[in-house]
Structure 1
Amino acid sequence: MKRKTILSSVLLCISCISIFYSCKQRDDYPSFDDKVEETAPVDPIPDDKQVEAVTRTIMERTDLIKTFLLDSSVTISTGLVRTHVRYVNKLDQRVSLQLLKVDLSSKDIFPAIMSAFDDYLYVSQPIGDMAKYNEPRSGGEILAAINAALSSTVSYIKNGRQINVSTSNIKTKEKTRPFFAIRKDGSPYIGNCVDTTKFTFEPYDLNQFSGLVSGTNWVRYRGYSVLTTSEVVQAVTAIGLSSDKKTMYALVVDGGNTNFSVGIGLNDVAALMGALNTHDAFVLNSGATSVMVQKTLTADPFNPIIWNTVSKPLTAGGSASISGIGFVKRSSIKN
């Protein structure tokens, strides 16, 4: 009996050694020291020999575009044209931008301030969904939209109702913010000023505005470019207005993806808006919230209309915002 026990113990030890040895000999375990080579996604760019007029203007008046890649323009409606431009900048980085040109003199298109869920609460919503909720009371069809403020600490005016304006930093000269507003007569206005001796502060009455959204950084003020020492390059949403207030531009530059679009710096936004002859222009917001959407008809009977994201934010549909600007096709033109 004792011999059997000893023999069993010996066999068990041999078996364990064999199993251990066989494990040591396996070669199908990954080596965590090995570096994994990541292949950049293929981004085919078709040959484009025809340059759109707005792209040519940017190329002729700035040094932003080192190498032109492609562009395309689509007329969304009378008075509303969207141009997509892709290029390589002076640092050999790829950039993609969406630019809306709005002809405010046509009376067919007008800007409207949007809020999350078309309400007055401090909640956020993706811009595509925001356009859907705001369209019924917009006075027409929202054909395109861009993001405005992200933070709930920033104020806005919606349908004449002032939301958080007492803490918005738009009432005092010392803490100025650029803002885009729509007067109650429908005319657009970009207000506040750069707090320097070169520009004088312009007084205004918040009660004259039916809608307002504030931004972050001036890039053009009363015909002058506003430059900065900031070298941050990121996704950006900006707007500009001509001196006669007949032409408005809405710009969304994608960022954060070096294989597609690295983004843009504030001084380059100033150069671009200057090339477009904007009198006043500023950045609404930057980063993951920067997004542009366009109204699109679908074949889905349960969801026949969507506001398709035409820019390429890092998160699908772009991060949610507190407010936005919609570009509305007037339901009827009153003579």
Structure 2
Amino acid sequence: MNKMIKHSFLVMLAALAMSGCSKDKEIVEPEVPVKEEVVKVDKDITAMTTKIMEKTAVIGTFVSDTTIKMAEGLFRTSIVFKRPDKLPVSMFIIEADLKNAKLELQTISPYNDLIYGVQPISEMAKDNEIAGTKIMAAINGSVYTAAGDPTGILCKWHRR
């Protein structure tokens, strides 16, 4: 058995040596260019972003922003920037004219129920939609435990 292991080892060593003895071609690794991060600055700054930049120091380097009209009196602004410590941020702001009778704020809850739990906000919006209405924006504005119990006040259907 020892002879067989020794013989196998010698055969493997010889095969390795023979493959290494042929004319070696120098292997040239292709150069991978180092991609420098280029931040293209958007020159058109929306009114919402201007307001944030004037009143806070949260935006270090402005990158871009876009405001879209979601419905009459309802706008969504998306802002991309770097904080003063260079960390990238994407921020979304919903602006609603609550004087518009067609718009209202409502509390939604997991599975449209008063039982606490967790559910993705997109599914929660679908489950809480009332016939004849359309939820245009849903924002997770609560802090809750891992089990889904709110840590603050939750008021829905005039109940806490």
* TM-score, scaled relative to structure 2: 0.72
- How do 1:93-242 residues align onto structure 2 when only pairs under 5 Å count? 93-136=87-130, 140-147=133-140, 148-151=142-145, 152-154=148-150, 155-162=153-160
User: Would the alpha carbon gap of residues 55 and 133 (structure 1) be closer, same or farther in structure 2, given more than 3 Å must change?
Assistant: same
Indicate the percent of aligned positions where both proteins have the same amino acid.
Answer: 28
1:116/1:124 contact within 8 Å kept: yes
How many angstroms does 1:14 deviate by?
3.5
Deviations 1:74-97 (A, max 9, x none): 111112111011112222222210
CA–CA separation in structure 2 for the residues paired with 1:130 and 1:49:
37
1:71/1:85 contact within 8 Å kept: yes
Structure 2 residue 13 is matched with structure 1 residue 17: no
User: Would the alpha carbon gap of residues 84 and 15 (structure 1) be closer, same or farther in structure 2, given more than 3 Å must change?
Assistant: same
CA–CA separation in structure 2 for the residues paired with 1:69 and 1:9:
70
1:103/1:109 contact within 8 Å kept: yes
User: Would the alpha carbon gap of residues 48 and 113 (structure 1) be closer, same or farther in structure 2, given more than 3 Å must change?
Assistant: same
SS at match of 1:142: coil
How many angstroms does 1:19 deviate by?
5.6
2:49 is aligned, of 55, 62, 86, to: 55
SS at match of 2:108: strand
Looking at both structures, which has the greater relative contact order when contacts are Cα pairs under 8 Å and sequence separation is at least 6?
1
User: Would the alpha carbon gap of residues 104 and 66 (structure 1) be closer, same or farther in structure 2, given more than 3 Å must change?
Assistant: same
How many angstroms does 1:24 deviate by?
8.6
How many angstroms does 1:16 deviate by?
3.2
- How do 1:246-261 residues align onto structure 2 when only pairs under 5 Å count? none
CA–CA separation in structure 2 for the residues paired with 1:96 and 1:23:
57
2:64 is aligned, of 56, 64, 70, to: 70
Gaps of 5+ in 1: 1-7, 27-40, 163-335
User: Would the alpha carbon gap of residues 43 and 157 (structure 1) be closer, same or farther in structure 2, given more than 3 Å must change?
Assistant: farther
Deviations 1:9-41 (A, max 9, x none): 74x243233266479989xxxxxxxxxxxxxx9
Deviations 1:268-319 (A, max 9, x none): xxxxxxxxxxxxxxxxxxxxxxxxxxxxxxxxxxxxxxxxxxxxxxxxxxxx
1:45/1:70 contact within 8 Å kept: no
User: Would the alpha carbon gap of residues 157 and 72 (structure 1) be closer, same or farther in structure 2, given more than 3 Å must change?
Assistant: same
Counterpart in the other structure of 1:180: none
User: Would the alpha carbon gap of residues 13 and 63 (structure 1) be closer, same or farther in structure 2, given more than 3 Å must change?
Assistant: closer
CA–CA separation in structure 1 for the residues paired with 2:2 and 2:87:
69
Q: Which is strand-richer, 1 or 2?
A: 1
Q: CA RMSD in A?
A: 3.3
2:117/2:149 contact within 8 Å kept: no
CA–CA separation in structure 2 for the residues paired with 1:129 and 1:44:
37
How many angstroms does 1:157 deviate by?
2.2
Q: Which is helix-richer, 1 or 2?
A: 2
How many angstroms does 1:160 deviate by?
2.0
Deviations 1:34-77 (A, max 9, x none): xxxxxxx9988655211001111111222222221000001111
* TM-score, scaled relative to structure 1: 0.37
Deviations 1:227-271 (A, max 9, x none): xxxxxxxxxxxxxxxxxxxxxxxxxxxxxxxxxxxxxxxxxxxxx
Counterpart in the other structure of 1:90: 84
- Looking at CA atoms only, which structure, 1 or 2, has the larger radius of gyration? 2
